[in-house]
Amino acid sequence: MMQLMKELAPLNRVICSDDYDKAIRYLTALMPFKVLEYSSENEHNGWVIPPRWNVKQARISRGGELVYDGMRHPLALIALSTGFRGKVSLEELRRHLHYDHRYDDAIPFHFRQQFRSWQRDWGFCVPKRLYDSLEAGEYEVLINTEESEGVLRMLELTHEGTAQESIIFGANLDHPGVANDGIAGVAVGIELFRRLCRKKHKLTYKLVLTQGIIGSQYYLGMQAKERRTHIMEGLFLEMLGTDTQLALQASRDGVSNIEYAVAQSIREKHLSCRTGPFESIIVNDEYIWEAYGIPMASLSRFPYPEYHSDRDRLEIIREERLMEAVEILEHAVGILDDSQLVRKKFDGTVCLSNPRYDLYVDPGQVAFGDIASTDRTRMRLLMDLIPTLTKPVTTRALAQRVGLSEDKACGYLRKWAQKGLLELH
């Protein structure tokens, strides 16, 4: 994992660029990824694939002396900066300089032009200390970039299980020149799939490596709807290499199988982990997946101090933290394998008191002194939950949702299966 990060973190992995494609080639040599490609003519829901963009020269000078080298780091020139050559006043120059308001010596990540390629300008990201030190006068600016038609490329690795339903592990492959934001999740995902591919599993698992936001949108929006129906849910892997605390963010409804399994894995390993509802910890690709009806939780170590700056470099990554994340996820997959998969085989509701089924759980009649026990109340919750299922779910996740032991839940679910209302796999 550390070698992968050493190779990929320094690259200028702008959404469509030579360095991004270099990362694609590196990863396809490691694992049998499928490369998905979308050309710039594939505008989707207003999303536009930006041009292929590479930097040739970028600098600020004064009187022939170099003031700032825009090639010093991939973040030093704003992503998708337009080309520019000319002399500007200090006032004009400062309108094109961006600095990190948290630190005097850091370079921030200016990323929005990648998503608004129709509205671009030239500019640099500089340390605040440099910004404040600039003196009045005339400056020479040179930005030489090369642009061509953009092609959006992403990677998909599939490990087939005995069931066609799949769980996605997602991570971002872009984010120029930084380590924890994106590439740490990629490294964890690849090591996880190295391990998963050694064994047979019940569910199908996919590792999807995309550009932030726009990549997930094209991955989901451009594939056939019937193919998406086999995706049960997913977990985004984000910023997992630092010594900051683990954070498990729930999917929008907070009831996906994978988030229950990851939470159980973390508990069983006695690890410290912060938890929170959807979008309370981080806002990334998760909302794109949820818009397509696919629950997407996330596992991260966010926040961390170096986020979105050139301080996010290999030196802050801890191999033991990456390994810890891999082991959590591998154990979570094992938890899913140990549980049966429930598929609903009916629509609407069923008259469960009908002798043909005899599955009704009487909640009790308080007026007549019949007060249900805790277990009977929870079994009633399970009875009412089953007709609302829209996707396959594990028996363990169902049991946890209603507060029953898995054995008791399975006993009741087997009765439904015997009546032809459910399928247990």
Q: Is 18 helix (H, G, I), strand (E, B) or coil?
A: helix
pLDDT band at 226 (very low <50, low <70, confident <90, very high): confident
pLDDT band at 25 (very low <50, low <70, confident <90, very high): very high
pLDDT per position as a tens digit, 255-274: 999 999 999 999 999 999 99
Query: What pLDDT does 363 receive?
Result: 82
Mean pLDDT for 116-139 is: 97
Domains and CATH numbers, the chain: 2-48+151-337 (3.40.630.10), 54-146 (3.50.30.90), 341-424 (no CATH)
Q: Taking Cα atoms as reference points, which of 47, 52, 49, 54 lies closest to residue 12?
A: 54
pLDDT band at 369 (very low <50, low <70, confident <90, very high): confident
Residue 420 to residue 272: CA distance in whole angstroms:
43
Pairing of strands 422-424, 341-344: antiparallel
Residue 4 to residue 243: CA distance in whole angstroms:
19
Q: Is 172 a residue whose pLDDT tops 90?
A: yes
Mean pLDDT for 225-252 is: 96
Residues above pLDDT 70, as percent of the chain: 99
Name all contacts of 419-422 with Cβ < 8 Å and 24+ positions apart: 419/356, 419/357, 419/359, 420/345, 421/344, 421/345, 421/346, 421/350, 421/357, 421/359, 421/386, 422/342, 422/343, 422/344, 422/345, 422/386
Least trusted range by pLDDT, from 153-157, 188-192, 339-343, 367-371: 367-371
Query: What pLDDT does 298 receive?
Result: 98
Mean pLDDT for 19-40 is: 97
pLDDT per position as a tens digit, 31-83: 999 999 999 888 899 999 999 999 999 999 999 999 999 999 999 999 999 99
pLDDT per position as a tens digit, 290-312: 999 999 999 999 999 999 999 99
Sort residue 369 into left (φ over 0), alpha (ψ -120 to 50) or beta.
left
Query: What pLDDT does 375 receive?
Result: 86
Chain mean pLDDT for the chain: 96
Residue 349 to residue 253: CA distance in whole angstroms:
22
Q: Is 364 a residue whose pLDDT tops 90?
A: no
Residue 55 to residue 17: CA distance in whole angstroms:
9
Q: Is 367 a residue whose pLDDT tops 90?
A: no
Radius of gyration of the chain (CA): 26
Under DSSP, the state recorded for 368 is G
Residue 110 to residue 153: CA distance in whole angstroms:
21
Query: What pLDDT does 66 receive?
Result: 98
Q: Could you give the dihedral angle defined by the CA atoms of residues 334, 339, 345 and 351, in that order, rounded to the nearest 10 degrees?
A: -150
Mean pLDDT for 335-342 is: 95
Mean pLDDT for 199-226 is: 95
**H helix or E strand, kind and range, residue 305:** none
pLDDT per position as a tens digit, 381-398: 999 999 999 999 999 999
In this structure, the chain runs to a length of: 425
Cβ atoms 281, 348 nearer than 8 A: no
Query: What pLDDT does 58 receive?
Result: 98
**H helix or E strand, kind and range, residue 414:** helix 406-418
Query: Exposed, middle or buried by CB within 10 Å (0-12, 13-18, 19+), for 153?
Result: buried
Sequence-distant (≥ 6) Cβ neighbours of residue 175 within 8 angstroms: 13, 109, 181, 182, 183, 212
Number of C-beta neighbours around residue 64 at 10 A: 6
